Amino acid sequence: MRGIASPVGVLARTHAPVAKAGLNLPRDGKFLISSPRFWHVEARMSLNSRSNFSIGAFDLQGYLAQRTAAVDRALHSLLPPANAKPATIHKAMRYSIFAGGKRLRPALCLAAAEACGGDIEQAMPLACALECIHTYSLIHDDLPAMDNDDLRRGKPTNHKVFGEGIAILAGDGLLTEAFAIAARCEGWPRYPHREIIRELAEAAGSRQLIAGQVADLEGEGRKLSAAQLKYIHERKTSALLCCSVRLGGMSANASAAQLRALTQFGYHVGLAFQIIDDILDVTQTSEQLGKTAGKDTAAEKATYPSIVGLEKSRAIAARLTRRAFRALDFFKGRAAALGALAEYLLKRDK
């Protein structure tokens, strides 16, 4: 059977049958959008999933500082210099990419590579490509025609500095450069070059990240169900986060079992991440967040707190994180960085 794009931004092509229980995953760890039973099965999963995973005394702050510095160095060398003609567009691209982002997607990619015994240098082009795609999506998301935001990462948004036209083109430039950067990877025995590029394209495409943005726009001012909101979060946020860990695993020539565990981890962490974002939007200030607080409420967007309340939202995010930890049991202590990142994402305050 040749499947189609999955709800977590991964290729869903497999000859394996769809599992009858658990996460309804095929044997290669890929979700099938064509299987409506997935949503019902996932909803019935145990609320008390237990994990043997332990983070221990992992120095996440040091780890993130090292990885952020390495990613920034790579981005500096891989992206066109600010003075390359036309300088305006390259300055705009660099303005947003180096505006102080947390580099979580690259960090997840590199940590996944390490969990599978890989080399972070092999994964680095993919980590940088992911950050370019993420930053492009933020530039476009902030535009007046989208979320109309003035603040991002504690600084004026791209269109406030360079104007709407250049901001649109800066996003376009980063999206395009992402594939030029990813193309530097030659592929691995289990994952040829074309699979790497297609994995990235699917996650950023019209059935995943863009689909989530479309549904988010069309949902403004409407009363959405929890299922409809989940559809948005799975695509707008979880798809690229899941893709991040999968690409990291692929760069390490991960086994099918390793990739399946990473997919489960990335999917659950991605959903938990967006729920926490929803919570922070109504509990923190703009100064704390580095972006405009309360904008979802102002735009009459559905959020988990608006549908199920703050406390239940926190409980759902914690439950999803426990499921992410459970997926890491497979790595038997080799995924401390991934576990620490998941815990950080759950407990963050911005």
pLDDT of residue 340: 95
User: Per residue in 99-149, pLDDT tens?
Assistant: 988 899 999 999 999 999 999 999 999 999 999 999 999 999 999 999 899
4 φψ region: left (φ > 0), alpha (ψ -120 to 50), beta (else): beta
Residue 17 pLDDT greater than 50, yes or no: no
Q: Could you tell me which residues are beta bridge partners of residue 155?
A: 152
- Cα three-residue angle 320-323-325, rounded to 5 degrees: 115
Residue that is written with structure tokens 């795609």 in the block: 133
CA–CA gap between residue 266 and residue 321 (Å, rounded) = 10
**Average pLDDT, rounded, for the chain:** 84
pLDDT of residue 271: 96
Residue that is written with structure tokens 């995924």 in the block: 335
Domains and CATH numbers, the chain: 58-347 (1.10.600.10)
Contact 338, 112 (CB under 8 A): yes
CA–CA gap between residue 55 and residue 38 (Å, rounded) = 30
Residue 37 pLDDT greater than 60, yes or no: no
* Choice between 58 and 73, residue whose per-residue pLDDT is larger: 73
pLDDT of residue 4: 28
Of 161, 128, 141, the closest CA to residue 277 belongs to: 141
Q: Which long-range contacts (CB under 8 A, 24 or more apart) does 159-165 make?
A: 161/92, 161/95, 162/88, 162/91, 162/92, 162/95
Residue 5 pLDDT greater than 70, yes or no: no
User: Per residue in 284-340, pLDDT tens?
Assistant: 766 665 656 667 766 678 899 989 999 999 999 999 999 999 999 999 989 999 999
Q: Where are the alpha helices (DSSP H) in the chain?
A: 37-43, 60-78, 87-97, 104-115, 120-141, 158-162, 164-182, 193-204, 209-218, 226-233, 239-251, 256-283, 286-289, 295-298, 304-308, 310-328, 336-347
Q: Strand 187-188 and strand 151-152: pairing?
A: unpaired
Of 74, 58, 287, the closest CA to residue 178 belongs to: 74
CA–CA gap between residue 272 and residue 194 (Å, rounded) = 30
* Structure tokens given for 237: 């946020």
CA distances from 29 to 6, 169, 242, 295 (A): 11, 36, 11, 36
